Amino acid sequence: MFETRYEEWLEKQKGGLTGEALRRLVEGHAHNERLFLEEVWFPAIGSFDDLHAEYEVRSYMNGNFYLDFAYLRPPYCVNWEVDDFSSHAKNVTRRTHNYNCDRQNQLVLDGWTVFRLNLDAIRERPKQVQQFVLQVMGKLYGTQAGGEQIALTLKQREILRLGHRLQRAFTPKEVCEQLGIRDRHARDLLHDMLAVGLLEAAGGHVRVRSYRLTSKAAYLYLP
């Protein structure tokens, strides 16, 4: 699934770029950027809609900035940067350090929301980075999924937090222990969340024995 969608997206990106931006995409969009998409973005978001690689931004210093990834979905412009410690540390000079500071300051001044993701974290803790990306998306675009506003009780929010923390299927018994409630109450909460698409059955047919979060639930921002 990822390979097909990625290749389609990449070809579409190439078709919309020219000059330096196209050269950077063809020559520079390599292992690190693909790793972010394969291990973090696609598993978390499920699509490449509104995501642009090597996005060109005009600089007040009579030049251009090129963003690793720009997510352009109103009302926000979000810049996702993938930072490799070894290459950044090896190549940094006073001049490049000043350039990077000026670059980020101008992006923020121009209304961009900028996030820098550590390549080591993407390699070693992709689930954690996925969760961060989802929390960002939820916070920026609201406590909603697919445009549908979701009203959650305090206990349902705690169930979602439990699922995010465990990163696996969980049982009604674990919900009981987490919330300090009886089995019947836990199952009622879980059934309601199943009905609105926040949970799905992970075990059991006639009687669900375990649940897991859906991608719809992952988009929800939990303040």
pLDDT score recorded for residue 185: 96
Can you tell me the distance from the alpha carbon of 10 to that of 14, in angstroms, rounded to the nearest whole number?
6
144-218 carries CATH number 3.40.50.300 = no
How many other C-beta atoms can be found within 10 angstroms of the C-beta atom of residue 41? 25
pLDDT score recorded for residue 16: 74
211, β-bridge pairs: 170, 201
Cis status of the peptide bond prior to 74, with omega within 30 of 0:
no
Quick one: tokens of 21? Answer: 């931006």
The pTM is what?
0.66
Can you tell me the distance from the alpha carbon of 166 to that of 120, in angstroms, rounded to the nearest whole number?
22
Domain ranges of the chain: 2-141, 144-218
pLDDT in tens, the chain (223 residues): 788 998 888 888 878 777 777 777 777 666 888 899 999 998 888 789 899 988 888 877 667 888 999 999 989 999 999 998 655 555 667 777 777 788 888 898 889 999 999 999 999 999 889 888 888 888 887 655 444 556 788 899 899 989 888 889 999 999 999 999 999 999 999 999 999 889 999 987 678 899 999 877 866 666 6
pLDDT score recorded for residue 145: 46
Can you tell me the distance from the alpha carbon of 39 to that of 125, in angstroms, rounded to the nearest whole number?
9
Considering only CA atoms, which of 203, 195, 191, 199 is closest in space to residue 216?
199
Long-range contacts of 134-138 (CB under 8 A, 24+ apart): 134/44, 134/45, 134/218, 134/219, 135/221, 135/222, 136/78, 137/45, 137/219, 137/221, 138/219, 138/220, 138/221, 138/222
